[in-house]
Amino acid sequence: MVRQGGATLDEITKRTVTVAFENRVRLAGSERNPPKNASKAGKLAKDSQVSVTVVVRRNGDGAAPADAGDLDLVERFAHHARLTVVDSNPRKRRVVLTGNANDISKAFGTKLTRYKSKQTGYTFRCRTGALTVPEELHGVVVAVLGLDTRPVAKPHFRKRKAAQATATAFTPIEVATLYDFPKDVFGAGQTIAIIELGGGYKTADLTTYFGGLNVPIPKVTSVSVDGGKNTPGSDSDGEVLLDIEVAGAIAYQANIVVYFAPNTDQGFVDAITDAVHDTVRKPSVVSISWGASEDSWTDQARSAMNAALEDAAALGVTVTAASGDNGSTDGDTDGKLHVDFPASSPYALACGGTALYGSGSKISSEVVWNETANKNGATGGGVSGLFALPSYQNSTRVPKHPETNFVGRGVPDVAGDADPATGYKVRVDGKDQVYGGTSAVAPLWAALIALLNQKLGTPVGFLQPKIYTVPPASFRDITSGNNDDGGHGNYNARSGWDPCTGLGTPNGTALLSALSPAQRVEIPGSAAKPRIAGTWSSADPNQQIAATIVIRRPAQAAALSEQILAGGSPPVSHAVAEQALAANPNDLAVVEAFIQAEGFSIANENAGARTIQVQGTVAQMSAAFGVSIGSVSDASGSTHLTYRGAISLPVDLKDVVTAVLGLDQRPVAQRRRVTAQ
């Protein structure tokens, strides 16, 4: 519903709190430099309509929605600034506003100008400097996107050059066979979301292509975001069709939904947000083949996108992202090392590239993709200069950033065939062609994840903490080659993880086995008791809850207790007794590994009390502890969180964990009252 300022005049006048919106503050991270390789193309008409996305802070951890009061405050400011509220969504933590260029410029303290690209002739809206917001919105608003419409990302595909015409080429199905993808599943019941910032596809191309592969044509749907549409007829068609055809050839029973958005910071962030929070199509995996050097973004845009990717992780949606096609510099001309974003986000599965040689099911050779000498790209990869090293990479020997010594996120996580010389047979705009680039690796991994999800019967979700703990045989380790494209000497392949191909390319069947649920055991006496009779209802899967994991007492503690019960005095000092009662370090380590694999955050760890308090969503808790979490309403109308079934854990936690508390929040005791006689 469109509302002027989010409320009627009567609603506004009835408010008891008056907000002046007089004093203004700088919006952190909103600074913009003038565009490169572009010139001013005249003033923007004052009555031009402008749409912006206002991103609001979280009201909690994980995918927590925005606070209703924060959204209301933004809407009141919109009314004050003569802007229109088009949409206000707490789950997506955003308010979409429209207004004429004059009013919207004043609202955010900037000036809008038209610029024209010297290379493409494309005309776009631009601003420079920082934005400002009313003091009342300081800390509430974390980003304002859409005022500046300069292109922010590039597609990461490479077309094979004529000089490479005699090289090898594969269909996506042949690549999947070489990587031993599961053979008896085709993505049924899964939805693969694909983010596109330009171009389009024609159904005729898909019909011809999939018919030539002798596989059913997958269901492909396009979704418009911020006015973006399926518009074939540009070079970006190669990206769109590469993504659809690679994912669709392997997971042809999956639904493929293409989210088309403008190539702007607003469009990119909104497309990811819409896909992750799409409750109608419900993607289990999102594929992204667009990006740009992580330091080319404004801080606010990068933070907003990273928050959307964090939502995906919290909601159990895997996001695959191409690591770029321009080697260790990511194509930047400053002569320094860079990694590509959003691949550098710790919440994205960053996908690097290789040159793959083989036939049938046998790989004869595989090395790091680097065709810099032929001017046809190299896999992106390296060390982030902005995102800190995530805990799941602690044991991977990610080097410090060679130029800054920053302990950053290592890129990529995984890899796949990307060299145009060993590329993918695709059909683009009526022609059969061969394409490569890490753009092919993101949908390749998205298709594999769709197969894994179907086979496992549950989404693999936030995959990184899991793949860094699986057996090495789950990947083909790439130990030859480098992605140096600027004479830096960085980076080289090596045994184990490296900044060119990550953990390596997939051994699909072995990875499936590694991700399959381990044998589980129930905690004795953990089934919830029916203390309150009432109406059961499912809990919101995104609701954040806490649980306390209780670890067994060590043997020396049991001996100490027996002596005390027998009437004897403790034979040790208080300090030694505390040490004896504390959790065994090995027990703590195995429980911490389980917590990390399930994607929980640790709120408190107390070795002395032998407890670890964890936080996660209802969906995460249900899966981790093998129960169905819901709520019960009693006769008085009060509701309490509880669960059905007995709590179970992986077999390696048998006897280590003695209890999991907090999943059942029904009252356990009654107050004793004495009535005077």
Residue 674 has pLDDT above 70, yes or no: no
**Average confidence (pLDDT) over 615-624:** 87
* Residue 55 C-beta-side C-alpha neighbours within 13 Å: 26
Considering only 121-135, 173-187, 561-575, which range has the smallest mean pLDDT?
A: 561-575
Length of the chain (residues) = 677
Q: How confident is the model at residue 586, as a pLDDT?
A: 87
Q: CB of 127 within 8 A of CB of 114?
A: no
Q: CB of 297 within 8 A of CB of 265?
A: yes
Q: How confident is the model at residue 562, as a pLDDT?
A: 64
**Average pLDDT along the chain:** 90
- 585 falls in which pLDDT band (50, 70, 90)? confident
Determine the Cα–Cα distance for residues 201 and 498; give it in Å rounded to an integer.
Answer: 36
**Average confidence (pLDDT) over 591-596:** 89
Q: CB of 343 within 8 A of CB of 464?
A: no
Q: How confident is the model at residue 561, as a pLDDT?
A: 64
Determine the Cα–Cα distance for residues 430 and 449; give it in Å rounded to an integer.
Answer: 29
Q: Please name the amino acid found at residue 52.
A: V
25 burial level (CB within 10 Å; 0-12, 13-18, 19+): middle
**Tokens (6 digits) for 249:** 């050839």
Q: CB of 60 within 8 A of CB of 146?
A: no
Residue 291 has pLDDT above 60, yes or no: yes
Q: How confident is the model at residue 8, as a pLDDT?
A: 46
Q: How confident is the model at residue 407, as a pLDDT?
A: 97
Higher pLDDT, 77 or 164: 77
Which residues have CB under 8 Å from 381's CB, separation 6+?
323, 324, 328, 339, 350, 352, 411, 412, 483, 491, 498, 499, 500, 501, 502
Q: How confident is the model at residue 573, as a pLDDT?
A: 60
- 575 falls in which pLDDT band (50, 70, 90)? low
User: pTM of the prediction?
Assistant: 0.78
Determine the Cα–Cα distance for residues 185 and 452; give it in Å rounded to an integer.
Answer: 8
**CA distances for 67 relative to 91, 338, 489, 542, angstroms:** 10, 36, 49, 15
Instruction: Report the sign of the C-alpha dihedral through residues 340, 342, 343, 345, in that order.
Output: positive
Q: How confident is the model at residue 259, as a pLDDT?
A: 98
Q: How confident is the model at residue 163, as a pLDDT?
A: 67
Percent of the chain with pLDDT over 70: 90
Q: How confident is the model at residue 11, as a pLDDT?
A: 45
How big, in percent rounded to 5, are the helix, strand and coil portions of the chain?
Answer: 25, 30, 45
Determine the Cα–Cα distance for residues 181 and 447; give it in Å rounded to an integer.
Answer: 10
Q: How confident is the model at residue 343, as a pLDDT?
A: 98
Q: How confident is the model at residue 670, as a pLDDT?
A: 58
**Tokens (6 digits) for 77:** 């400011």
Which residues have CB under 8 Å from 564's CB, separation 6+?
570
Q: How confident is the model at residue 4, as a pLDDT?
A: 42
Which residues have CB under 8 Å from 36's CB, separation 6+?
none
**CA distances for 576 relative to 11, 570, 605, angstroms:** 66, 10, 20
Q: How confident is the model at residue 16, as a pLDDT?
A: 42
Determine the Cα–Cα distance for residues 560 and 451; give it in Å rounded to an integer.
Answer: 52
Q: How confident is the model at residue 12, as a pLDDT?
A: 42
Of 296, 336, 330, 293, nearest to 487 by C-alpha is: 336
Q: CB of 461 within 8 A of CB of 313?
A: yes
Query: Can you say how many angstroms the Cα of residue 93 is from the centroid of all Cα atoms in its chain?
Result: 16
**Average confidence (pLDDT) over 255-273:** 98
The torsion angles phi and psi of 80, rounded to 5 degrees, stand at -60, -35
Q: How confident is the model at residue 13, as a pLDDT?
A: 43
Q: How confident is the model at residue 166, as a pLDDT?
A: 60
**Tokens (6 digits) for 95:** 């308010």
Residue 458 has pLDDT above 50, yes or no: yes
H/E element holding 643?
strand 639-644
Q: How confident is the model at residue 310, as a pLDDT?
A: 95
- 558 falls in which pLDDT band (50, 70, 90)? low
Higher pLDDT, 97 or 522: 97
Q: How confident is the model at residue 14, as a pLDDT?
A: 42
The catalytic residues are 239, 243, 439
> What is the DSSP annotation of 537-597?
EEPPTT-EEEEEEEEPPPHHHHHHHHHHHTTPPPSS-HHHHHHHHSPPHHHHHHHHHHHHH
Q: CB of 442 within 8 A of CB of 379?
A: no
Domains of the chain as residue ranges with CATH: 3-145 (no CATH), 154-515 (3.40.50.200), 522-661 (no CATH)
H/E element holding 38?
strand 38-43
Residue 308 has pLDDT above 70, yes or no: yes
**Average confidence (pLDDT) over 542-549:** 90
- 534 falls in which pLDDT band (50, 70, 90)? low
Beta strand 382-388 with 408-411 is: antiparallel
Q: How confident is the model at residue 381, as a pLDDT?
A: 98
Q: How confident is the model at residue 192, as a pLDDT?
A: 98
- 233 falls in which pLDDT band (50, 70, 90)? very high
Q: How confident is the model at residue 559, as a pLDDT?
A: 64
Q: How confident is the model at residue 9, as a pLDDT?
A: 42
Residue 322 has pLDDT above 70, yes or no: yes
Q: How confident is the model at residue 669, as a pLDDT?
A: 58
